[in-house]
């Protein structure tokens, strides 16, 4: 069991995070707010702490309780989420907030109860159960997988090793302070047992670590070769009126970037897509935006035109748009400025 050494280290070196209750405060009986724990865990999916923190601060300032978020307008929440990516998370965030608010604003305390809520999978349920309610749940993210692979010198490549690493993590999860322990392992992976150049010399569990003894720390966890991502193509159309406003439309709720504002355009496909002009205008090519999603690379051609104003034209606010649309808008506006 690495828990005693790790908890002692965490008591001294825990990261200060806006959603976290410090170990000393927790020892004094201060429990985390389940709403803040849940919100942080949803934001941290596929996102770094540095990227998520300012979003967390804005969300909790606008909507300090789950009931406040549940009552928010969909469009406002989606706009505040812009830039975090994976927009299905924002839709599930609202659905979950409304489900919890309908049940009196109380989050379930068990993993099974949490998994019944929209957008909460096995990892997130375990993290909330452990951190918010001190349940001895087995919390396994990428940091924990790396710590377990190195501590036990597990050479099976990921993702095949996931089940084995989860079993190893379960063997170390204590019944005393499981919430602090879960955060301690994640902190260890984020600050010491890092993907490259782990700081083994200051690790609180360096002595029993098998990978350190065998000189394998930087080689683990092993990963299966990645398959190349496909490349898709598409076209986005930026129309600008005489007052500098641009035409935007809301994407369908389902699918990639669902429910978000964006430029009209074609489908994104591996074959060149057929044109899908939103209306007749003198369209010219401004350039091409490159953007990478989880499962594919996108080459998005941006076409621009100056047109008379009409409904749907709004002042350009790139910061409220998904990243790929932000890139397209900025490229298009630059091209129009260069035409004048």
Contact (CB, 8 A) for 188 and 6: yes
Contact (CB, 8 A) for 91 and 259: yes
In this structure, how many other beta carbons lie within 10 angstroms of the beta carbon of residue 26? 20
- Is 41 labeled as catalytic in the residue annotation? yes
Rounded-to-integer distance, Cα 247 and Cα 334, Å: 16
Find the angle CA(212)-CA(174)-CA(42) to the nearest 5 degrees.
85
- Please choose, from the candidates 146, 315, 122, 124, the residue with its C-alpha nearest in 3D space to the C-alpha of residue 217: 146
In this structure, how many other beta carbons lie within 10 angstroms of the beta carbon of residue 135? 19
Rounded-to-integer distance, Cα 249 and Cα 220, Å: 46
Transcribe 110-126 into DSSP letters. SHHHHHTSTT--HHHHH
78: left (phi over 0), alpha (psi -120 to 50) or beta: alpha
Residue positions annotated with a catalytic role? 41
């Amino acid at each position: 069991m690495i828990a005693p050494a790790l908890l002692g280290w965490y008591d001294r070196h825990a990261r200060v995070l806006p959603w976290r209750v410090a170990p000393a405060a927790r020892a004094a009986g201060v429990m985390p707010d389940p709403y803040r724990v849940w919100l942080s865990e949803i934001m941290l999916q596929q996102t770094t702490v540095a990227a998520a923190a300012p979003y967390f601060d804005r969300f909790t300032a606008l909507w300090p309780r789950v009931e406040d978020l549940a009552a928010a307008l969909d469009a406002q929440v989606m706009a505040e989420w812009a830039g975090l990516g994976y927009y299905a998370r924002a839709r599930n965030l609202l659905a979950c907030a409304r489900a919890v608010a309908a049940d009196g604003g109380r989050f379930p305390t068990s993993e099974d109860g949490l998994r019944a809520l929209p957008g909460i999978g096995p990892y997130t349920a375990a993290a909330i159960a452990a951190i918010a309610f001190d349940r001895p749940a087995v919390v396994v993210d990428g940091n924990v997988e790396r710590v377990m692979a190195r501590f036990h010198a597990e050479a099976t490549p990921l993702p095949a090793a996931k089940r084995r690493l989860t079993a190893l993590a379960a063997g170390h999860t204590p019944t005393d302070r499981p919430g602090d322990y879960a955060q301690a392992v994640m902190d260890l992976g984020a600050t010491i047992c890092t993907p490259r150049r782990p700081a083994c010399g200051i690790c609180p569990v360096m002595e029993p670590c098998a990978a350190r003894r065998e000189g394998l720390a930087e080689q683990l966890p092993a990963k299966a070769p990645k398959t190349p991502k496909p490349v898709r193509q598409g076209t986005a159309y930026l129309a600008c009126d005489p007052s500098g406003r641009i035409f935007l439309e809301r994407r369908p709720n389902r699918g990639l970037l669902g429910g978000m504002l964006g430029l009209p355009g074609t489908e994104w496909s591996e074959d060149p897509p057929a044109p899908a002009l939103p209306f007749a205008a003198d369209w010219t090519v401004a350039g091409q935006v490159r953007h990478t999603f989880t499962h594919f690379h996108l080459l998005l051609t941006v076409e621009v035109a100056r047109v008379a104003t009409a409904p749907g034209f709004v002042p350009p606010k790139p910061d409220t748009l998904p990243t790929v649309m932000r890139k397209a808008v900025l490229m298009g506006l630059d091209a129009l400025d260069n035409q004048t």
